[in-house]
Amino acid sequence: MSKEWSAAPAPLRVALLGFGVVGGGVYDLLLADQKRFQVVGVACRDPERHIRNGAPHRLLTNDPAALPEHDILVEAIGGLSPAEEIIANALRRGIDVVTANKSLVSRRYETLHAAAEAGGARLRFSAAVGGGVPMLETVEEVAREGAIIRLDAVLNGTTNFVLDRIGAGLGLTYAIRLAQEAGFAEADPTADIDGVDAAEKLSLIVRRAFGVAVDPAEIPRDALGALSSAEIAAAHAAGRPYKQVATARRTAGGLELEVRLRRAPADTPLGRPKLEENCLVIEREFGAPVVLFGKGAGREATAGSVFADLDALAHMRLGASLAESAA
């Protein structure tokens, strides 16, 4: 009687592009799951700084082209360039990519997916919308079950944090600084408080909900500067705080999209989010609304969502490997 033994699959080789708040968080999660993942390299702007903080010297480089061979690339540098070139090249080479870069994916969606198709690779970007809240996946699932007629969402954790703190009596400048110190806001928070970030996220949600491509730059939006601190504080005290709300609704004339500063009763889903929290309300043609709620910014939430995509890729690759073995 013979017995066949199947060896455990080798860990997936992961390279990180960026080692800041999100990249560092993903790195820690990968180290905690070394049976499935092996970090083979990290490309970052200043390797010496991270080495001084205890990162392994052998993993770090400031040249993305010098990264060792890898199965999955995690992009965490943000922006359009050089992220677009690096991601597209990886996808064309058959390397799966995970990113939280909503600006890049929303503006280069077709280009990146064409590169993925050409290389037979997968592009996953759950963390680009909602932080730790699975908004894109939920919207896609709800859309499969029936028509969506409207979406309303608080999508930018930084702006919600700033509005919440101004409502509590702080000034705009100090509220932004607190958001930066907490790791929610970039050094330049303009894209957040001017509604650009929320518009980019809304365009990605609209693709999943309605199958329509929308240029984020064409979505009307309000900037936080349109409100005074006194107006924000008064609304907060009255129990109807201001929120930066992204909306998509089906009308007889087509889709209407916008990102507006709106007052929402504090006991409603859109009025409920505090600090960096996000919320999404999905109204369906049939059935009760679907409401999602949770942390939408920060190291833990975003890194966790990136890791969820890595986990999904690991399961896909394992399933494909088992199918090949059975063939």
**Mind telling me the catalytic residues?**
201
21 is in an annotated binding site: yes
243 is in an annotated binding site: no
145 is in an annotated binding site: no
Question: Considering only CA atoms, which of 86, 83, 95, 82 is closest in space to residue 13?
Answer: 95
The angle formed by the CA atoms of residues 176, 182 and 187, to the nearest 5 degrees, is 50
Calpha distance 164→160 (Å, rounded): 6
196 is in an annotated binding site: no
* The token pair that represents 59 in the structure block: 């993993």
CB-based burial, 125-136: b 16+ in 10 Å, e otherwise? bbbbbbbbbbbb
184 is in an annotated binding site: no
22 is in an annotated binding site: yes
**Please, are residues 41 and 16 in contact by the beta-carbon 8 Å criterion?**
yes
The residues, any chain, with a CB within 8 Å of residue 296's CB and separated by 6 or more, are: 130, 131, 132, 133, 154, 155, 156, 157, 160, 273, 276, 277, 278
* The token pair that represents 147 in the structure block: 């028509």
Calpha distance 271→16 (Å, rounded): 37
**Beta-bridge partner residues of 221:** 259
Beta strands in the chain (DSSP E): 12-17, 37-43, 60-61, 72-75, 96-99, 123-124, 148-154, 242-251, 254-263, 277-284, 290-295
**How many other C-beta atoms lie within 10 A of the C-beta of residue 49?**
12
Cα→Cα distances 177→184, 199, 301, Å: 10, 23, 20
- Residue ranges for the known binding site for L-homoserine are 186
Annotated binding site for NADP(+): 18-23
Task: Give binding residues for NADPH as ranges.
Answer: 102
Annotated binding site: 18-23, 102, 186
